[in-house]
Amino acid sequence: MNNLSIVILTKNNEKTIKKALFSAIFADEVIVVDSGSTDKTLDIIRSFNVVLVEQEWLGYAKQKQLGVDFAKNSWVFVLDSDEVITDNLQKEIKSTLANPTKNGYFINRKNIYFGKMLNYGLYPDRHIRLFNKNRGKFIDRSVHESVKIEGKAGYLKAYMIHYAYETISECIEKFNEYSTLGAKKSLTKRVISPPWIFFKMYILKLGFLDGWHGYITAKLYQNYTLWKYSKDNQEFKTKLSSSGDESNP
């Protein structure tokens, strides 16, 4: 079986980091890259048997790639500080690493918005999180960083849990920031994309089965998409990209 390193980024995540760390301790190595926490995050991290790397914020992709480069094992799993690897996913990861057939794997993610787990709308919300670092790396982007691997990626069936936003206000604030970082001013997409995102999440992906939470989440993503294709503020992008908040929507 191939050994596994799990990489986690942190900055002021005292509310969620303990859950993330407990879900990661099955790995052979856990690396936490902190970009200047001033709350209890560092105290919590130091109570676990992990490798702590303190690094000023470099940007989403570069910060995660730094953690990957620190890993002593070829196979890595990149976990956000507000995410949890479920027991079933742990088992599937171990089984997969016993005989990997791909250089990277998409992981499903179930999101918790405002206290409710969304089983439809956003699901499966797949991202490549498990990969061979010798065959893949992060693409440098301002936001929504992703991993590019050699060859086609595989898919795991189990899911991880993302504790996304506790309140609507928190979500709106973050979506406002991320829409500025990822701004791509386009009149056509500004008109077409927002209603399509709502229709896709709420109707095609059965978001209505998540009740009120499914509706409001689809509306928030509709607004986020509208903002993203309406903004063009390079100065604010530069300021925000240096802030060091590791969370992503």
Examine residue 249 and state whether it is found in any structural domain, yes or no: no
Residue range(s) defining the domain that contains residue 174: 168-241
Residues 40 and 147 in one domain: yes
Structurally, the chain folds into a number of domains equal to: 2
Reading the block at residue 238, the tokens are: 């530069």
Residues 178 and 157 in one domain: no
Examine residue 248 and state whether it is found in any structural domain, yes or no: no
Residues 85 and 161 in one domain: yes
Question: Which residues does 98 contact at the CB level (< 8 Å), separation at least 6?
Answer: 1, 2
Residues 109 and 183 in one domain: no
Q: What are phi and psi of 29, to 5 degrees?
A: -155, 140
Q: Which residue has the tokens 């390193």?
A: 5
Residues 118 and 17 in one domain: yes
CATH classification of the domain holding 135: 3.90.550.10
Residues 160 and 193 in one domain: no
Q: What is the pTM of this model?
A: 0.89
Label residue 240 by pLDDT band (50, 70, 90): very low
Integer CA distances (angstroms), 96 to 2, 75, 90, 201, in order: 9, 11, 10, 30
Residues 136 and 174 in one domain: no
DSSP 180: H
Question: 94: burial class by Cβ within 10 Å (0-12, 13-18, 19+)?
Answer: middle
Residue 89's closest CA among 183, 140, 182, 155?
155
Residues 52 and 116 in one domain: yes
Residues 130 and 190 in one domain: no
Residue 126's closest CA among 164, 96, 153?
153
Q: What confidence tens digit (pLDDT) does each residue in 126-181 have? A: 999 999 999 999 998 766 789 999 999 999 999 999 999 999 999 999 999 989 98
Label residue 236 by pLDDT band (50, 70, 90): very low
Residue that terminates a domain, selected from 140, 165, 190: 165
Residues 177 and 137 in one domain: no
Reading the block at residue 88, the tokens are: 């079933």
Residue that terminates a domain, selected from 138, 165, 192: 165
Residue 214's closest CA among 140, 124, 81, 112?
112
| Higher pLDDT pick, 247 / 89 | 89
Q: What confidence tens digit (pLDDT) does each residue in 55-112 have? A: 999 988 999 999 999 999 999 999 999 999 999 999 999 999 999 999 999 999 999 9
